[in-house]
Amino acid sequence: MNGLPAGVRPRLDLMHALLLPGALFALFVAAPLGALLWRAAAGGDLLASVQKPLVRDALRLSLATSLLTLVVVVALGTPLAYVLARARFPGKRLLDTLIDLPIVLPPVVAGVALLMAFGRRGVFGGLLRGLGIELAFTTTAVIIAQVFVSAPFYIRAAKVGFQSVDVTLEQMAYTLGVSRVRTFFRVTLPLARPAVLGGVVLCWARALSEFGATMMFAGNFSGVTQTMPLAVMSAMESDLFAALALAVILLAASFVVLLLFRIAGGRGE
């Protein structure tokens, strides 16, 4: 057909040409995941592996700590996100940047920093010991490490969500006699819900996959601080199949997280 405007066919050709590197990259991502699944399936009974103490303990600890992390982050991060979205105050940009910093900070550095602050010899270590509190290398330390690295993902998303809600709607609620707190729960939060839920999902995923900071600040003690990513590393030395089982569970969790994120964002395809 010569009726097509000039330029249309060459562009289609370009699309075809771009498919090749695209396909290569897709293969690059899919191949290791496929290999992991194949080896895990070939190795034997996955369910039996989950029964192993190492796997079971890590699974339980990861679930407990990441969910507790989520509770802490949502409880403390939501008011902060709202203040950042609505209020104007000196030093706001600095605070904004500070909160985002853990996103780009290497987790190992975060772990060292936590150790320097709350470790036995840390800046606040003496004070904590005086109060009879020992943090480093405990389950609490796992949660602290997870909160530190995962909170920015939630706070950032929630802030953007709250910003997207028209202030006029809140003001309308005030003139209707509804308190600020109730307005938040009846107007702001429902309207920001997709963004906030997206933040929850990302935050949980980040907490679940946390490795470096936990390793540094909480150590790798089975049943106490050995979460799934740490257990994968330990198992690689002794029981490859247990490591594979854990890896498959984490992979499945990641996939579910992504699905939830899509649903929460309402833009799933």
Chain contacts with another protein (rule: CB under 8 A)? 166, 168-169, 171-179, 182, 186-187, 190-191
Which C-beta is closer to another protein: that of 85 or that of 208?
A: 85
Helices 228-238, 53-86: axis angle to 10 degrees equals: 150
Instruction: Show the CA angle centred on residue 19, arms to residues 14 and 25, nearest 5°.
Output: 140
Smallest separation, CB 86 to another protein (Å): 14
Q: Which two tokens stand for residue 211?
A: 């490795």
Smallest separation, CB 226 to another protein (Å): 43
Burial track 233-255 (b if 16+ CB lie within 10 A, e otherwise): ebbeeebebbbbbbbbbbeebee
Q: Radius of gyration over alpha carbons of the chain, in Å?
A: 23
DSSP for residue 122: S
Helices 139-163, 92-104: axis angle to 10 degrees equals: 130
Smallest separation, CB 162 to another protein (Å): 15
Q: Which residue has the tokens 């590197």?
A: 21
Which C-beta is closer to another protein: that of 247 or that of 264?
A: 264
- Could you tell me if 138 and 225 are in contact, meaning their C-beta atoms sit under 8 angstroms apart? yes
Residue from 2, 11, 65 nearest 228 by CA: 65
Smallest separation, CB 167 to another protein (Å): 10
Smallest separation, CB 188 to another protein (Å): 10
Q: Which two tokens stand for residue 128?
A: 């904590």
Which C-beta is closer to another protein: that of 162 or that of 211?
A: 162
Which C-beta is closer to another protein: that of 132 or that of 177?
A: 177
Helices 107-118, 139-163: axis angle to 10 degrees equals: 120
Which C-beta is closer to another protein: that of 182 or that of 267?
A: 182
Which C-beta is closer to another protein: that of 10 or that of 177?
A: 177
Smallest separation, CB 186 to another protein (Å): 8
